[in-house]
Structure 1
Amino acid sequence: MPRSQKSNLCVPEQCQQKQGETKVLRGAQAMATAKEEFPSSSTPPFRCTTQRKPGTKSCSTLQGTPRALFTPTTSHTRSYAGAKNKDEKRRSSSQEPPSTKRSRKDPLTKKVGTLVQFLLQTYKLKKLVMKEDMLKIVSKKYKSHFLEILRRASFSMEVVFGIDLKEIDSIKPSYALVSKMDLPNNGRLSRGRGLPKTGLLMILLGVIFMKGNCASEEKIWEFLNKMRIFAGKRHFIFGEPRKLITQDFVKLKYLQYRQVPNSDPPSYEFLWGPRAHAETSKMKVLEFLAKINDTVPSALPSLYEEALRDEEERARATVLDRADPTAMASAVRVPVPGPAAPPRPSEA
């Protein structure tokens, strides 16, 4: 067999893992569409994509390409020298990504962003969401587009913030906002500050699952960098990513972060923490990844089969627990925590 053909072949499990990683990345990039839906009036709590320059009155809007959610904040320099400035504006307009142009032309985008803001505030207050209130937010002008606006806002809430919008009464239409995991302070980690971090946690659990239930720190950051999330660079939703992942999620026992035994120089790896095992499952994580990629969990057979086995073990453990509460610990196979990772120097 020619070398060029042979190099393209891989073991089925490896191929499925690659496909799975691609799906997760697509899903993570799908999170970026939410930033196009956050209107400029949303700051605070949302940041602008450009820095304020001396002498200017305000910062730019939060519109951008699908990857903009994960792109570090940058400042843009402009030339205001007559015709040269006009040429530059025409040139930048012609080179502007189609997705940005579409978002600016799409009249629903701003309404979606406004509705997302309303849903986040309602979730923070732990209240039910009434359809009549959402219709007021959308306004009569866009009432005929309400279902599409609601669909897009619901997608953003689930993918970015890990919050499901569930209908609880169809007669007097009302909805409950339910987090996929029970993080403190409605997923904001800090009381009264920040935005829910559950979406990123679900993504991380998915990557660990696809890496054989144990992912090296190198692989985790390799993936996050593709999402434009960098250690030491503050993210407008996730804050300082290294602290969030290696300290906050670890302290809350959603992730395990440990040194690889006998590694020299020391290397580190991530596993699911006990609270992740308790509050979610491999099937739920796989369903989350499948939904944001508009596919089904069975599209990744090996991961799906493992998730099914996990569901069966959980079902057996539930039965045993009802009969004998002490039997559950031996029925569910939860990884034994390794030695805690020593503090790592922060990256600038």
Structure 2
Amino acid sequence: MPRGQKGKLRTREKRRQARAEAQGLEDVQATAAAAAAAAAGGSPSSDRPQNLPAAGTPSTPEAPEETTSASAVVSGTNSGEGTNRQKEKSSKSSKGTEDSCRDPLNKKVVLLVQFLLQKYQNKEPITKADMLKFVIKNYKYHFNEILERASEHMELTFGVDLKEVDPIRHCYTLVNKLDLTFNGAMTEENIPKTGLLMIVLGVIFMKGNCAAEEDIWEVLNMMGVYAERKHFIYGDPKKVITEDLVELKYLEYRQVANSDPPCYEFLWGPRAHAETSKMKILEFLAKVHDTVPSAFPSWYEEALRDEEERARARAAARVRTAAMVSARSRAIASSSSQAK
């Protein structure tokens, strides 16, 4: 095949991959927004679990253009085709959310999510018996389906996994998905903010490992999270992102050089690099989209390279540790020999 034609084919393939990833990220964002809406959705007070306070109502984007803008910024496309496609997706997502709210099982899913959050806040044990008594009630034959859907919302919205710790008594616990050490140390009303951090880390990764502040907020706006509005889950989102997570070294927040007026950008902080990885973040986003990390080829390749570098670093660290232990052992043996 002529060299020029090969070049054209490679260029065409790169464009196809870019379009696929852009479309995939739009779907990820739309699905995440729908999951957040469903998990946070209100329900009639008469249906609320006993002793469970009413959940706040999340903010939602005021106009479809905000969703389009967020998608265009993160995916790097401003084409009319992309805009129309995203509007269509937003319309379908909204219709799907409305339909799901009329689903009686979905109401139970929402109530169970609220119940699990209350248990987490109060540091109380989570048991199947309590879930059946206070939430599931007459839908006990659908318990497994309701629990599975609620668990998925907890994972995708809040970044925590619901795990059964006692299969005999059917006791459960909520586990921070990434096992980050800030769990419990940086909370308002003790609700985990892992999900918010994972979304921010994902945007940073997908924007070339450095994301402008406006990029972050455009994506969060799609989820009903706004810089100047208190959120019923995250409290003051701007403080969480620009102060709390920065102080805890999970994010780096810095002024863009020579920017006037000042502009700011986000990078992964040292603790994020130490405690999670690009592959884990990509796996999370892929699960939101109900696909696999390899569905995003360029990001997947970067995540694989990152995994390889981490493996080499761990191997080098083990070699250094072994050398230090060996040297210390020889020193002790020599000291003992001289003492005799």
User: Is TM > 0.5 for Structure 1 vs Structure 2?
Assistant: yes
Other structure's SS at 1:26 match: helix
* Residue in structure 2 matched with residue 166 of structure 1 by the alignment: 163
**Measured at CA, do residues 246 and 325 of structure 1 come closer, stay the same or move farther in structure 2, by a change above 3 Å?**
farther
Q: Does 1:269 align with 2:269?
A: no
**Measured at CA, do residues 38 and 187 of structure 1 come closer, stay the same or move farther in structure 2, by a change above 3 Å?**
farther
**Measured at CA, do residues 147 and 160 of structure 1 come closer, stay the same or move farther in structure 2, by a change above 3 Å?**
same
Trace 1:230-245 onto structure 2 (pairs within 5 A): 230-245=226-241
Other structure's SS at 2:224 match: coil
Return the alpha-carbon distance in structure 2 between the equivalents of residues 305 and 11 of structure 1: 16
Q: CA deviation at 1:69?
A: 5.2
* Residue deviations 1:269-290 (CA, integer Å, cap 9, x gap): 1101111112211111111111
Q: Does 1:216 align with 2:225?
A: no
* Residue in structure 1 matched with residue 286 of structure 2 by the alignment: 290
Contact 1:187–1:198 under 8 Å retained in 2 = no
Q: CA deviation at 1:220?
A: 1.6
* Residue in structure 2 matched with residue 186 of structure 1 by the alignment: 184
% same residue: 57
Other structure's SS at 1:31 match: helix
Return the alpha-carbon distance in structure 2 between the equivalents of residues 172 and 248 of structure 1: 38
Match of 1:70 among 60, 64, 76: 60
Q: CA deviation at 1:164?
A: 0.7
Question: What letter corresponds to residue 189 of structure 1 in structure 2?
Answer: T
**Measured at CA, do residues 28 and 185 of structure 1 come closer, stay the same or move farther in structure 2, by a change above 3 Å?**
same
Return the alpha-carbon distance in structure 2 between the equivalents of residues 240 and 172 of structure 1: 38
* Residue in structure 2 matched with residue 114 of structure 1 by the alignment: 111
Return the alpha-carbon distance in structure 2 between the equivalents of residues 122 and 279 of structure 1: 26
Q: Does 1:22 align with 2:22?
A: no
Q: CA deviation at 1:323?
A: 2.5
Return the alpha-carbon distance in structure 2 between the equivalents of residues 304 and 45 of structure 1: 41
* Residue in structure 1 matched with residue 75 of structure 2 by the alignment: none
Match of 1:31 among 36, 43, 65: 36
Contact 1:24–1:207 under 8 Å retained in 2 = no
**Measured at CA, do residues 125 and 239 of structure 1 come closer, stay the same or move farther in structure 2, by a change above 3 Å?**
closer
Q: CA deviation at 1:211?
A: 0.5
Question: Structure 1 unaligned runs (5+)?
Answer: 1-7, 50-67, 73-96, 328-348
* Residue deviations 1:80-101 (CA, integer Å, cap 9, x gap): xxxxxxxxxxxxxxxxx75565
* Residue in structure 2 matched with residue 77 of structure 1 by the alignment: none
Larger radius of gyration: 2
* Residue in structure 2 matched with residue 206 of structure 1 by the alignment: 202
Larger helix share, 1 or 2 = 2
**Measured at CA, do residues 156 and 188 of structure 1 come closer, stay the same or move farther in structure 2, by a change above 3 Å?**
farther
Question: What letter corresponds to residue 70 of structure 1 in structure 2?
Answer: T
Return the alpha-carbon distance in structure 1 between the equivalents of residues 253 and 243 of structure 2: 9
**Measured at CA, do residues 134 and 226 of structure 1 come closer, stay the same or move farther in structure 2, by a change above 3 Å?**
closer
**Measured at CA, do residues 134 and 105 of structure 1 come closer, stay the same or move farther in structure 2, by a change above 3 Å?**
same
Contact 1:32–1:69 under 8 Å retained in 2 = no
* Residue in structure 1 matched with residue 6 of structure 2 by the alignment: none
Contact 1:112–1:153 under 8 Å retained in 2 = yes
* Residue in structure 2 matched with residue 46 of structure 1 by the alignment: 55
Other structure's SS at 1:70 match: coil
Contact 1:115–1:137 under 8 Å retained in 2 = no
The alignment covers a number of residue pairs equal to 275
Q: CA deviation at 1:24?
A: 3.4
Match of 2:246 among 247, 250, 267: 250
Return the alpha-carbon distance in structure 1 between the equivalents of residues 170 and 319 of structure 2: 40
* Residue deviations 1:311-343 (CA, integer Å, cap 9, x gap): 12222222222232599xxxxxxxxxxxxxxxx
Q: How well do the aligned residues superpose, as a CA RMSD in angstroms?
A: 3.1
Question: What letter corresponds to residue 110 of structure 1 in structure 2?
Answer: K
* Residue in structure 2 matched with residue 310 of structure 1 by the alignment: 306
- Which has the higher mean CA deviation after the structures are superposed, 299-308 or 238-247? 238-247
**What TM-score results when the alignment is normalised by the length of structure 2?**
0.70
**Measured at CA, do residues 100 and 315 of structure 1 come closer, stay the same or move farther in structure 2, by a change above 3 Å?**
closer
Q: Does 1:320 align with 2:316?
A: yes
**Measured at CA, do residues 38 and 251 of structure 1 come closer, stay the same or move farther in structure 2, by a change above 3 Å?**
farther
Q: CA deviation at 1:157?
A: 0.8
Contact 1:183–1:189 under 8 Å retained in 2 = no
Return the alpha-carbon distance in structure 2 between the equivalents of residues 110 and 117 of structure 1: 11
Other structure's SS at 1:225 match: helix
**What TM-score results when the alignment is normalised by the length of structure 1?**
0.69
**Measured at CA, do residues 126 and 305 of structure 1 come closer, stay the same or move farther in structure 2, by a change above 3 Å?**
farther
Contact 1:27–1:293 under 8 Å retained in 2 = yes
* Residue in structure 2 matched with residue 175 of structure 1 by the alignment: 172
Contact 1:28–1:203 under 8 Å retained in 2 = no
Contact 1:187–1:197 under 8 Å retained in 2 = no
